[in-house]
Structure 1
Amino acid sequence: MNDSKQRLATDATPDDHQTADEKDGFSLSTEEKHDVEEKQPPRAAVLHETIRLQGEEELGRSIPALGWSALAAGLSMGFSMLARGLLHRYLGEVPGAFLIESLGYPFGFLVVILARQQLFTENTMTAVLPLMTHPDLAKLGLLLRLWSVVFLGNLIGAALFAYGILHMQLFDHATHDALVGIGTEVMANSPWQMFTKGILAGWLIATMVWLVPAAEQAKITVIVLTTYLIALGGFTHIIVGSVEVLYLVFSGGAGFVDYVVHFGLPTLLGNIVGGSCIFALISHAQVRGDEA
């Protein structure tokens, strides 16, 4: 009997001793297997938890900290309008000018995101995940507090930037006309278009927030490509659009009521629907589905 067992062991092929990984692919050393694991993209659950923890941190910040950061973000977002306006002024009517001038739009987003300033449309994604994960009235109260403070700070910063650029006499008439033209173009949308285009803008911003933690060295590329698409599509963003339309209002080209009713409310609602009710909800459901 022992001789029989020895013959069976001797006759066994090398494949009988291979691990499942070696049968399915190439035989790798321990170090090589570690390299493979390092190169795998993070699971959706990892991205979800990363963003949720960011949201928890934001919900726990004090009102003064949120307010100053939001004010800085509103001011920074003004550079998206300014960069686009300057490119438009100097490009003139050259072929493809719109494609080039739209590259100015991502500038404000780059400043806000890399400087970790508080932007309302980012919060529609990050701050809502903690509430979706552990829904309760306390979390809802913190979310509404965060949204209120950040939105107000962003709008004050946007208004200060638009007013300052107009009255500090920094630019010539051609640049002024280019900036007025941007606001006029935004106000050419109907309220329904403001809302529907706002949904896509909110969706894209939420997508960007989801992608940035996984992008590692390509964060700038993700930010630029995502926000460039917003500019190309003419999608409405409540903070950048506020700088653009308020510049028009301060120039006498539109009324403040028109800014609030025609642009502000539909765009705000669209951004929230796109960022929170669509992308964040779907992403959260995806992770919950994987855990089921």
Structure 2
Amino acid sequence: MGNRSVDPSDTQKSYNQVLAQEIRAGLREFNRSSSSLFLSAVSAGLDLGFTLIAVAAVATLAHGQSELVSQLLTANAYTVGFIFVILGRSELFTEHTTLAVLPVLDRQRSIWDLASTWGIIYAGNILGGLIFAGFAVVIGPEFGIFELSVLGEIVAPYTTHSTLGLFGGAVLAGWLMGLLSWLVTAVRDSSGRIFFVWFTTLLIGFTHLPHSIAGHIEMTAAVLATPLGIGAYSHFLLVATLGNAIGGVFFVALVKYGHVARGSTGETGLTGGYMQVYEQSQQSGENEKGAVNED
């Protein structure tokens, strides 16, 4: 039996398809009720809490290991909650930062709509993470999952940087999360999605880049169980949130949307928002195909 050649289009979509699908996904979230969006965001905050459990458990068990081995193990553990959230399709602020801004760039939603959607998702994530952090600091030691002392070690990278350093790291984390949203949409199969979620969040965890929601859960647990003060937590959350938002919006949404939308408009000669141009070109292609079939 001969080997079947694999067409890359079978597993990967064109950049036009990816952007169109990202815009449609963003529009679906704008069209959801506020209560539905909020509950999904709370679920994401709760599910992401399993990253805290996994990292704390591995950090407890990895004592005595070399620094490289310990970092690799904890970085792999860091991916757990993100896999649950992204494949489970609940609303995570850093991933949705990119999705929500695309319909605004395409002139289908207003800045006010964007701010409202971001606010609902962010508040739900914070609440869900807060609940899970309180649960974890009680259950973790009770069941011997982790020692409370490791919580201070986990958040140390967030408390030792300057404000500018923390902000720069958060921009990179937001950039990676926005890129992850694009990559997950680009592949057609679940195994590809799992790989990209694992690899991207592994990189964030290994380099200790500040992710506002995952870091919020870790910092909240540390505030509850260690001498870490609320001031350090508040400083982290503010800086990380701003950095994540800027990274996701500028480096992914603006750049990706800009190069795809401008390229598509130039190729087709059509004018209007990207989705209008995309749908017109798709319809034109279908009409041409129908005419060929009739001939």
For this structure pair, what is the TM-score category when the shorter chain's length is used for normalisation?
A: 0.7 to 0.9
The more displaced of 163-172 and 46-55 is 163-172
Q: Runs (4+) of structure 1 moved beyond 6 Å? A: none
Residue correspondence of structure 1 range 192-271 to structure 2 within 5 A: 192-217=164-189, 218-260=192-234, 262-271=235-244
- Report the Cα distance in structure 1 between the residues aligned to 2:224 and 2:11, rounded to whole angstroms: 51
Whether contact under 8 Å (1:84, 1:104) holds in the other structure is: yes
Distance 1:113 1:163 in 2: 23
Name the CA shift for 1:173/1:206 in 2 (closer, same or farther; >3 Å). Answer: closer
Letter in 2 for 1:83: A
Find the counterpart in structure 1 of residue 36 from structure 2.
65
Change in 2 beyond 3 A, CA 1:212/1:174? closer
The count of aligned residue pairs is: 257
Give the whole-Å Cα distance in 2 for the aligned partners of 1:46 and 1:77. 29
**Shift in Å at residue 189 of structure 1?**
2.1
The range that moved more, 170-179 or 45-54, is 170-179
Q: Which residue is 2:272 aligned to? A: none
Asked if the contact 1:184–1:248 (Cα under 8 Å) also holds between the matched residues in 2, the reply is no
| 1:101 partner amino acid | T
Cross-structure match for 2:74 = 101
Cα distance change on mapping 1:93 and 1:41 into 2, 3 Å: same
User: Whole-Å Cα distance in 2 between the matches of residues 39 and 250 of structure 1?
Assistant: 49
Alignment of 1:34-45 (within 5 A): 36=7, 38-39=9-10, 41-45=12-16
1:235 partner letter: L
- Listed one character per residue, the Cα deviations across residues 200-238 of structure 1 (whole Å, up to 9, x for unaligned) are 000000111000122222110010000000011110000
State the AA in 2 paired with 1:251: A
Pair 1:92–1:223, CA change in 2 (3 A): same
Q: How does 1:1-292 map to 2 (within 5 A)?
A: 36=7, 38-39=9-10, 41-95=12-66, 96-134=69-107, 139-168=110-139, 169-172=141-144, 175-217=147-189, 218-260=192-234, 262-291=235-264, 292=266
Please state how far the C-alpha of 1:190 moved relative to its aligned partner.
2.1
Tell me how far apart the structure 2 counterparts of residues 181 and 128 of structure 1 sit (CA, whole Å). Answer: 35
C-alpha separation in 2, matches of 1:243 and 1:159: 6
- Alpha-carbon distance change, 289 to 245 in structure 1, aligned in 2, over 3 angstroms: same
Counterpart-to-counterpart distance in 1, 2:116 and 2:171: 22
TM-score normalised according to structure 2 size: 0.82
**Which residue type is aligned with residue 201 of structure 1?**
A
Aligned-residue identity in percent: 29
Aligned mates of 2:263, 2:220 — CA distance in 1: 45
Contact 2:83 2:198 in 1 (8 A): yes
Structure 1's unaligned 5+ residue stretches are 1-31
Compared with structure 1, are the counterparts of its residues 196 and 216 closer, same or farther at alpha carbon in structure 2 (3 Å cutoff)? same
SS in 2 for 1:142: helix
CA contact (8 A) 2:23 2:99 kept: yes
Gaps of 5+ in 2: 267-295
